[in-house]
């Protein structure tokens, strides 16, 4: 699969997941926005998502704070989004990661499917497990209108 096909599949899986949870989903009409999906709850509150399709490498998922616009890699406008929805095909799940849960001063964030094995450097920051991130339902509690 090429990058565009993966992006489309990721978007479809995120919309499917959110629709099953009772949310309405809206997509932009063009391909140059940091926002891939706007999600609205029944109280008409919205959140703005950047969608990612990510396969693991050694049980680790990495998401850079970049996106592809017209075939070029550009930094994500972090002021334009509330977080990420990461579709992981190995576990067939969408992981929702709020901007409040990551260090925006870094180049990106990463998480694992299962705890890492032999930790060589105990001083190194341990990555979160995918299920340690909050649910998208929690985001709406603090979302502005």
Helix, strand, coil shares of the chain as percentages rounded to 5? 20, 35, 45
The pTM assigned to this predicted structure is 0.89
Instruction: Note whether 87 and 54 are within 8 A (CB).
Output: yes
Confidence of residue 34 (pLDDT cuts 50, 70, 90): confident
Instruction: Note whether 47 and 39 are within 8 A (CB).
Output: yes
Q: Is the domain 3-142 a CATH 3.40.1350.10 member?
A: yes
Express each pLDDT in 39-77 by its tens digit.
Answer: 999 999 999 999 999 998 888 999 999 877 777 788 888
Beta bridge partners of 87: 53, 94
Q: Can you tell me which residue has the tokens 């705890």?
A: 115
């Amino acid at each position: 699969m090429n990058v565009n096909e993966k992006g489309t599949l990721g978007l479809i899986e995120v919309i499917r997941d959110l629709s099953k949870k009772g949310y309405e989903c809206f997509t932009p009409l063009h391909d140059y926005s940091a926002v891939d999906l706007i999600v609205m709850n029944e109280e008409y509150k919205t959140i703005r998502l950047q969608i990612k399709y990510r396969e693991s490498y050694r049980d680790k998922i990495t998401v850079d704070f970049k996106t592809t616009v017209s075939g070029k890699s550009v930094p994500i406008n972090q002021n334009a989004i509330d977080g990420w929805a990461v579709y992981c095909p190995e576990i067939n799940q969408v992981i929702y990661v709020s901007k409040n849960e990551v260090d925006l001063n870094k180049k990106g964030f990463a998480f694992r499917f299962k705890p890492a094995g032999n930790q060589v450097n105990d001083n190194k920051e341990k990555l979160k497990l995918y299920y340690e991130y909050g649910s998208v339902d929690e985001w709406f509690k603090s979302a502005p209108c």
